[in-house]
């Protein structure tokens, strides 16, 4: 069992929750801006929390009424299942490995927002990653998540899988990593 590299974790950039929700497509940017303004007004006691909630509801209703019917039928964040969250974490691991770029992910998120679909399948269809590399990352992610493998080792193994077209298990064996 490989210990967690806390120094590496400290080097990871922080991401604000609101921006994460916008990037994933759960929240429209105007809604985030409005919510942050209202949060500041509550903090300075210009508004009560109840007034802020009502103002945010009005903003949401206005935003929804200005969007297309297709956007109105989009699933709410509560409908996102655990598997989708895991796929996003797998894709983030692929990004850390440099096998997909931030631009690739942004374009895929935009496609997902407009047309629906699963992020991994969108990236595969766009030929940003191949099925074998995705499978290797999906096999690898639980090991990283559970601190059974260092992220640096995972990245090396994923690059090896991508270059040689072997499975993740074969990559571990060929690289001499314990499995």
Of 142, 148, 139, 147, give the one whose Cα is nearest residue 178: 148
Residue 108 host element (H or E): helix 102-115
Give the model confidence (pLDDT) of 56-96 as tens digits. Answer: 777 776 665 555 444 444 444 433 445 567 888 899 899 99
Asked if residue 120 has pLDDT above 50, the reply is yes
| Predicted pLDDT of residue 61 | 67
| Model confidence at 171: pLDDT above 50 | yes
* Residue of 134, 131, 127, 136 whose CA lies nearest to 91: 134
Does the pLDDT at position 5 exceed 70? no
Phi-psi map region of 67: left, alpha, beta (phi>0 left; psi -120 to 50 alpha): beta
Q: Which percentage of the chain shows pLDDT scores above 70?
A: 76
Rg for the chain, CA atoms, rounded: 20
Does residue 126 or residue 41 have the better pLDDT?
A: 126
Average pLDDT over the chain, rounded to an integer: 79
- String of DSSP letters for 62-79: HHHHHS-HHHHTSPPGGG
Average pLDDT rounded to a whole number, residues 8-32: 68
Contacts of 98 (CB under 8 A, 6+ apart): 155
For residues 132-139, average pLDDT: 94
Distance between CA 168 and CA 172 in Å, rounded?
6
What DSSP string describes 133-169? Answer: HHHHHHHHHHHHHTTSS-HHHHHHHHHHHHHH---HH
Q: What is the pLDDT of residue 160?
A: 95
């Amino acid at each position: 069992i490989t210990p967690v590299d806390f120094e590496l974790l400290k080097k990871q950039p922080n991401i604000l929750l609101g921006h994460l929700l916008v990037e994933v497509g759960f929240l429209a940017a105007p809604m985030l801006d409005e919510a942050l303004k209202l949060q500041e007004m509550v903090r300075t006691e210009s508004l009560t929390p109840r007034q802020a909630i009502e103002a945010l509801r009005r903003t949401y209703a206005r935003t929804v009424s200005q969007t297309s019917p297709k956007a109105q039928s989009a699933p709410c964040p509560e409908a996102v299942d655990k598997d989708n969250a895991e796929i996003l974490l797998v894709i983030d691991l692929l990004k850390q490995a440099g096998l997909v770029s931030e631009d690739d992910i942004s374009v895929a998120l935009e496609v997902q927002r407009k047309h629906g679909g699963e992020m991994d399948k969108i990236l595969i269809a766009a030929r940003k990653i191949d099925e074998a590399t995705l499978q290797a990352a999906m096999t690898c992610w639980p090991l990283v998540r559970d601190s059974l493998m260092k992220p640096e080792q995972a990245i090396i193994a994923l690059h090896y899988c991508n270059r040689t077209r072997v499975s993740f298990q074969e990559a571990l064996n060929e690289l001499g990593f314990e499995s």
